[in-house]
Structure 1
Amino acid sequence: MNKHIVFAICGCLFFINGFSQTATIEELLNEIEQNNSELKGYQSFIESQQLENRSTNNLPDPQLSGFYLPFGDNATGDYTEYQISQSFEFPTVYATRGKWNKSKSKQLEYAYEKRRQEVLLNAKELLIDLAFLQKQKAVETKRRTQSKQIFDQIQELFNKEQVGILDLNKAKIAWIQEQFVVQKIESDIQIQLSKLKTLNGGNPIDGISSQIVLLVEIGTIENLWQEKLSNEPLLQELNANEAASLQKVKLEKNKVLPNVALGYNYQGVSGNNYSGFYGGISIPLWNSKNKVKAAEANYEYQQSNTEVITTSLYTQFQEIYNQYLLMLEKYNEYQTTMGNLNSEQLLFKAYQLGEYSFMDYYIELQFYRNASDKMLQMEKELQLLQAQLLKHQL
């Protein structure tokens, strides 16, 4: 089926247990973003780096020097001299470095956004997994109840000597297996809750209860990719790296200009003194050698790196999108085929009416249960693939 047609007709809803009706996924993710210890620490790190970057654009400290020379042949009196001066780079350097610092601040902001997105994607995947575990638990709890009913019936028939010990043992094993499945799911739920608690800064996630309906409707790959180009922090960070490296080239070119020093000088001997202004410039012969070339080479690397990573990211995005399309098509086929069968209930009634032996009932039941579990698993995988495709929206 053509992908455009698929998405045009697919406004399908997946019913996901696990989230409160009053707490949406967005609200839970916002709570995690506010409480996450790693993100809080990263914000402090960014603030410290920005302050450190701004400090590189400060003027050097003023210099005060003096001479008092009372020794030697002092026929003309003791010699005294002092000087106060302020040195600074060429004025255009400070403006250019200020712009470079702003571009480095952008780099830090996008690096934070990239890490924030990774944390929230991890949290969203955990929430999706938790939702399906709770849905699976509801299904398996019902199956456990049915297994207990069947075991009780066969126990009664065994007591009446109408069935043998083999049938009784098989029914008991089936019931025990269902008990274990439910216990395993409950354990997995606690593990997911513990992981979410860690992401939430040690605070338990509240408001997770019955069910929520999530819309699964995404656009074409072309529209999604254009949206990703505008909002993906990784791509924005790459562009910021390019801008910062270009600004570094401009800074190094400005630093070729001479440094300047201005000040006041006093000289005095035997009641006579001289005072006036002091000035000087540096001769930029050695310090700036090859620095402009190095900055230009780094800028070329950043441009190439942006192109390579963007191409790789698009290939990966396209692969996930195609997986989503294929999974969606298969899921719709499963849903259409199994939607109205009500197979497990019909089989259970047929068994109760004696139309199936226990073994025939159990074999048929496992076939339909496997198909139902497969559809549930596909539903979960669709949600996880969608989370990857819409990662840039977090």
Structure 2
Amino acid sequence: MNKHIVFAICGYLFFITGFSQTKSVEELLNEIEQNNTELKGYQSFIESQQLENKSTNNLPNPQLSGYYMPFGDNITGDYTEYEISQSFEFPTVYGSRNKWNESKSQQLASAYSTKRQEVLLQAKSMLLELVFLQKQKAIETKRNAQSKQVFEQIQELFDKEQVGILDLNKAKIAWIQEQFVVKQLESDIQIQMSKLETLNGGNPIDGILSEIVLPIEIGTIENLWQDKLTKDPQLQELKTNETASLQKIKLEKNKVLPNIALGYNYQGVSGSNYSGFYGGISLPLWSSKNKVKAAEANYEYQQTNTKVITTSIYAKFQEIYNQYELMLEKFNEYQAIIGNLDSEQLLFKAYQLGEYSFMDYYLELQFYRTALDKMLQMEMELQLIQTQLLKHQL
């Protein structure tokens, strides 16, 4: 009884360990997001911009001025005067500028989300292509083994003088070609891994999936577009630009109000002195000219720009969706015909039974291999297009 329990626990731990070595797409993308050098640099840039924006809402530096006048006809004694003052804009300006800074922080956050989306879209596309290369390599490795087996069989027949040198050379060339394809795929896989490691901040990526299965059906274009409107960083960035430009109008209207200065003043001569509070206002009659109009014009531009870009994004989105639907239809047709049919294995058995000559076998084989490769290529392209359609979910 105890032995069964121990074996069960060991088996469970082996199962968990085996699967823990493979990471999901989301885990791999999270890892790349944390390590990506470009995103790290952009985060530092955002932090510096936010601090700089906050500094624009600081009070001006206090002023200290003084006079000491010992020269001239000083019948009453030397004249002394000093003044300490602090100037500031109308109090409502600071609150309005603070809200404008908050809207600019949202702009920076939206810009970062857009940059993050670009990086993760690139990473996911690379992962899909890598998995496709790995799948293709597994198929070509099997084909290479079959080509070698066919060559060895023809070599035996050649040694027995049952086939000519032409058939032997054709079989050898076919095998060499398969070997080259496998080596080329190994090279492509290494190149793709290097690109992914670069996106991962130079860190090696472990736990690459051997296959990524994505749902084929993605919903209607109307539902996808509504989802995109609420989640897509690029569209959200347009909204934050509008909000910031609207807040800029409120800020400029507040800056029309007078600036204020308060302070302390001392004047003294020959034992007599006067001291008291200092106050003054500065009317921004000239500095604020056309500022409100400029802000209003910019807000109108941002509204128009949002409409134009949103329309353009929808047209592109619709184009990609239609492309996906067309390719999905073709892929389903291919899959219905050859998806569950092991044509290569059946042909190989027929060749072994002598039902085909080598040339007939090779020609038939190339036809089915081309069809299967086309189906695999379409599957990868479908996944890449789907990734484009659903990039707002990254």
Shorter-chain TM-score: what band?
over 0.9
Q: Which has the higher contact order (CA 8 A, sep 6+)?
A: 1
Q: How far apart are 1:276 and its partner, in Å?
A: 1.0
Structure 1 residue aligned with 2:100:
100
Q: How far apart are 1:256 and its partner, in Å?
A: 1.1
Contact 1:20-1:211 within 8 A present in 2 as well: no
The one-letter code sitting in structure 2 at the alignment partner of 1:206 is: D
Q: How far apart are 1:208 and its partner, in Å?
A: 1.8
Structure 2 residue aligned with 1:315:
315
**Secondary structure of the corresponding residue to residue 80 of structure 1:** strand
Q: How far apart are 1:301 and its partner, in Å?
A: 0.9
**Secondary structure of the corresponding residue to residue 74 of structure 1:** coil
**Secondary structure of the corresponding residue to residue 213 of structure 2:** strand
Structure 1 residue runs of 5 or longer lacking an equivalent are: 1-18
- Note if 1:33 corresponds to 2:53: no
Per-residue CA deviation, residues 329-363 of structure 1 (Å, 9 max, x unaligned), is 11111111113332111111111111111111111
- Note if 1:372 corresponds to 2:372: yes
> After TM superposition, which residue ranges in structure 1, 4 or more long, deviate above 6 angstroms?
none
Match runs of 1:207-246 below 5 Å = 207-208=207-208, 210-246=210-246
Contact 2:103-2:240 within 8 A present in 1 as well: yes
Q: Hey, what's the Cα distance between the residues in 2 that align with 1:252 and 1:71?
A: 48
- Which sits farther off after the overlay, 22-31 or 98-107? 22-31
Contact 2:114-2:234 within 8 A present in 1 as well: yes
Q: Hey, what's the Cα distance between the residues in 1 that align with 2:53 and 2:209?
A: 47
Q: How far apart are 1:249 and its partner, in Å?
A: 0.9
**Secondary structure of the corresponding residue to residue 215 of structure 1:** coil
TM-score, normalised with respect to structure 1:
0.93
Structure 2 residue aligned with 1:160:
160
- Note if 1:48 corresponds to 2:48: yes
Structure 1 residue aligned with 2:121:
121
**Secondary structure of the corresponding residue to residue 213 of structure 1:** coil
**Secondary structure of the corresponding residue to residue 214 of structure 1:** coil
Structure 2 residue aligned with 1:290:
290
Assess, with a 3 A threshold, how the Cα gap between structure 1 residues 102 and 209 changes in structure 2: closer, same or farther: closer
- Which sits farther off after the overlay, 281-290 or 377-386? 281-290
Per-residue CA deviation, residues 239-297 of structure 1 (Å, 9 max, x unaligned), is 00000011111111111111110111111111111111111111222111111111111
The one-letter code sitting in structure 2 at the alignment partner of 1:290 is: N
The one-letter code sitting in structure 1 at the alignment partner of 2:266 is: Y
Structure 2 residue runs of 5 or longer lacking an equivalent are: 1-18
Assess, with a 3 A threshold, how the Cα gap between structure 1 residues 242 and 101 changes in structure 2: closer, same or farther: same
Q: How far apart are 1:209 and its partner, in Å?
A: 5.0
Q: Hey, what's the Cα distance between the residues in 2 that align with 1:59 and 1:142?
A: 74
Contact 2:252-2:292 within 8 A present in 1 as well: yes
The one-letter code sitting in structure 2 at the alignment partner of 1:61 is: N
- Which sits farther off after the overlay, 88-97 or 152-161? 152-161
Contact 2:133-2:188 within 8 A present in 1 as well: yes
- Which sits farther off after the overlay, 288-297 or 53-62? 288-297
Contact 1:21-1:210 within 8 A present in 2 as well: no
User: What's the RMSD between the two structures over aligned residues?
Assistant: 1.2
Structure 1 residue aligned with 2:4:
none
Q: Hey, what's the Cα distance between the residues in 1 that align with 2:209 and 2:30?
A: 18
Assess, with a 3 A threshold, how the Cα gap between structure 1 residues 20 and 148 changes in structure 2: closer, same or farther: farther
Q: How far apart are 1:202 and its partner, in Å?
A: 1.1
Contact 2:22-2:209 within 8 A present in 1 as well: no
**Secondary structure of the corresponding residue to residue 23 of structure 1:** coil
- Which sits farther off after the overlay, 124-133 or 152-161? 152-161
Per-residue CA deviation, residues 72-113 of structure 1 (Å, 9 max, x unaligned), is 111111000000000000111101000000000000000000
Q: Hey, what's the Cα distance between the residues in 1 that align with 2:367 and 2:231?
A: 45
Q: How far apart are 1:21 and its partner, in Å?
A: 7.0
Q: Hey, what's the Cα distance between the residues in 1 that align with 2:236 and 2:393?
A: 14
Match runs of 1:80-99 below 5 Å = 80-99=80-99
**Secondary structure of the corresponding residue to residue 188 of structure 1:** helix
Per-residue CA deviation, residues 33-78 of structure 1 (Å, 9 max, x unaligned), is 1111111111111111111101100100110100000011111110
The one-letter code sitting in structure 2 at the alignment partner of 1:347 is: L
The one-letter code sitting in structure 2 at the alignment partner of 1:45 is: F
The aligned length equals 376
Q: Hey, what's the Cα distance between the residues in 2 that align with 1:370 and 1:72?
A: 107
Q: Hey, what's the Cα distance between the residues in 2 that align with 1:211 and 1:126?
A: 13
Q: Hey, what's the Cα distance between the residues in 2 that align with 1:222 and 1:233?
A: 19
Q: Hey, what's the Cα distance between the residues in 2 that align with 1:93 and 1:315?
A: 42
Structure 2 residue aligned with 1:327:
327
- Note if 1:349 corresponds to 2:346: no
**Secondary structure of the corresponding residue to residue 143 of structure 1:** helix
Structure 1 residue aligned with 2:179:
179
Match runs of 1:64-83 below 5 Å = 64-83=64-83
- Which sits farther off after the overlay, 132-141 or 274-283? 274-283
Assess, with a 3 A threshold, how the Cα gap between structure 1 residues 209 and 297 changes in structure 2: closer, same or farther: closer
The one-letter code sitting in structure 1 at the alignment partner of 2:324 is: Y
Q: Hey, what's the Cα distance between the residues in 1 that align with 2:216 and 2:28?
A: 19
